[in-house]
Amino acid sequence: MDLGLRHVDSWTRHPVAAVLLIILLAAYFAGRSRLATQDRPARYTVAVFGLGFVCLWVAFVSPLAELKFSYLYARTVQQALVGIMAPPLLLHGRMLAMLWNLVPSDRQHNLNLWWQGTSPWSTVLHWVTGAGPVWLLTVSVFALWHDSATVNWLMERPRWANAALMPYWATYMMFWWHAMAAMPHLHRPLPVWLRFLYLIVGGEVANMITGVTLAFRQEATYNYYLTANSLEQLTAVQDQMISGGIIWVTGSFIYIGVAVALLGQVLVQRRFEPQLPPRDWQTATLLTIAPGLEDRVSDQPVPKPAQRTG
């Protein structure tokens, strides 16, 4: 089965994407260098960011950028790298915090005041980047990304197809921003149970339905890939089945894995939550209990008050 792997040795050059990614990498380490040594992220955090950066580099600069014009599976791998794998790795690697460190401290204070203020621009921007609008935007972008008419139009226009990957990544960065509660001083973190639903409903459900549909459909969904020149031994339906499997397996593994990890954090916190000593809560109860009922909440008999002598 020909997967187009013979093209791997022909790395294509995408200078704009490469320059932007190099700027992002330099900005991350510049922001890290401005921190005191004891405040810098641990090495494993930098390694996690590095993995996310590699995902972006492979998606934007590797042969996938050209293979997607011949094979749907290459476009799907790009989608998985940019939307599912890179964002949580970059956020866990504290990318936003390192970029924020590049802003001078006085400007940070002014920006925080502006963000929390009541000006029309800050109000609109705060609402647009909220969890609800971002969730709706992500679901819409995902549906548009897999729409047959959109795919056929984009793939016939290489520049637009390459450019569309950048807003797709930006959308999922905002989606995972709320799912992972990154930069809490900009947006109040969602409760854990709501973040769990946010991931499952906004990510896993749409991802699973799309992946299963493509994997088991017996006819080609996208007319463009029926006429792609490089399809020799790999048919359009086989290519589509591979793509559906990639979406289904990769997406489910990451979405469900992160959602379960969120629930695990709640269970661990409750397990190790400090318990109030019995005497303390009994004392608190005795202070608020109605007079005459103290013996019902105490294991010690309450002495009767001395009777007054006339």
pLDDT category at 73 given cuts 50, 70, 90 is very high
Asked if 179 contacts 198 with a C-beta cutoff of 8 angstroms, the reply is yes
Range 160-183 average pLDDT = 91
pLDDT at 54 over 90: yes
The stretch 6-15 carries a mean pLDDT of: 59
- Rounded to the nearest integer, the mean pLDDT of the chain is 82
Residue 284 clears pLDDT 80, i.e. is over it: no
- Encode pLDDT of 259-274 as tens digits: 898 888 777 666 555 5
pLDDT at 226: 85
pLDDT value at position 20?
Answer: 93
Rounded alpha-carbon distances, angstroms, from residue 308 to 291, 301, 305:
18, 21, 9
Provide mean pLDDT across the span 137-148: 94
Report the C-alpha gap between 299 and 252 in whole angstroms. 54
Alpha helices in the chain (DSSP H): 15-33, 43-61, 64-67, 72-80, 86-92, 95-100, 105-115, 120-128, 131-146, 148-155, 158-163, 165-179, 192-199, 206-216, 236-271, 278-288
pLDDT higher at 90 or 40: 90
Confidence of residue 253 (pLDDT cuts 50, 70, 90): very high
Residue ranges of domains in the chain: 5-101+125-271
Residue percentage of the chain with pLDDT more than 70: 78
Confidence (pLDDT) at 286: 47
pLDDT at position 116, please? 74
> Which of 52-56, 91-95, 170-174, 189-193 is predicted least confidently?
189-193
Question: What average pLDDT score do residues 1-6 get?
Answer: 52
Q: How many whole angstroms separate alpha carbon 68 and alpha carbon 79? A: 10
Q: Quick check: 232 pLDDT over 70? A: no
| pLDDT of 32 | 87
Sign, CA dihedral 31-33-37-43, equals positive
What lies within 8 Å, CB to CB, of 302 at 6+ separation is 294, 295
